[in-house]
Amino acid sequence: MQTDRFVTPAARDTVLVKVRFFATHRETVGADRVSFELPGGASVADLIETLVARFPDIQPVVGAARFAVNREYAAPTTILHDGDEVALIPPVAGGRS
């Protein structure tokens, strides 16, 4: 379609993801979910960078977190898609007890 040519690359490639926070992260951020708009092709690692820029207090605790994309554990290199649900998973304690 002709109209496609006039959409800017930035607008076309933007992905909107929902990020969920739990436990110590939730308390640090002060919210249990926040939506982020990221450039197309952004990875989980890129999201974390954006996240730390917006919530600097989370930096000390984010290093120990795992990540889930759509409720599956995912590597930081995972590319995000529009509508994905990303969760920061702080360490779970139960392994020892």
Partner 1 sequence: MATELDRRFQVVDSPIDAAAVMRRVQHPGNGAICVFYGVVRDHALSGRQTSQLHYEAYREMAEEKMTEIADDLYRRWGIDRVAMTHRIGRLGIGEPSVVIAVGTPHRKLAFEACEYAIDRLKAEVPIWKKEIGPDGEEWVE
Considering the rule CB under 8 A, would residue 17 count as an interface residue with partner 1? no
Q: Nearer to partner 1 by C-beta: 14 or 26?
A: 26
Considering the rule CB under 8 A, would residue 87 count as an interface residue with partner 1? yes
What is the spatial distance between Cα 22 and Cα 7, in angstroms, rounded to a whole number? 37
Q: Which is it for the CA torsion 57, 96, 44, 84, positive or negative?
A: negative
- Per residue, the 3-state secondary structure of 19-37, as one string, reads EECCHHHHHHHCCCEEEEE
Considering the rule CB under 8 A, would residue 35 count as an interface residue with partner 1? no
Please give the sequence-ordered ranges of beta strands (E in DSSP) within the chain, or none if there are none: 15-20, 33-38, 66-69, 72-74, 85-89
The distance of closest approach from Cβ of residue 4 to partner 1 in the complex, given in angstroms and rounded to an integer, is: 36
Considering the rule CB under 8 A, would residue 62 count as an interface residue with partner 1? no
Q: Nearer to partner 1 by C-beta: 14 or 24?
A: 24
Binding window for partner 1 (CB under 8 A); candidates: 10-18, 19-27, 44-52, 75-83: 19-27
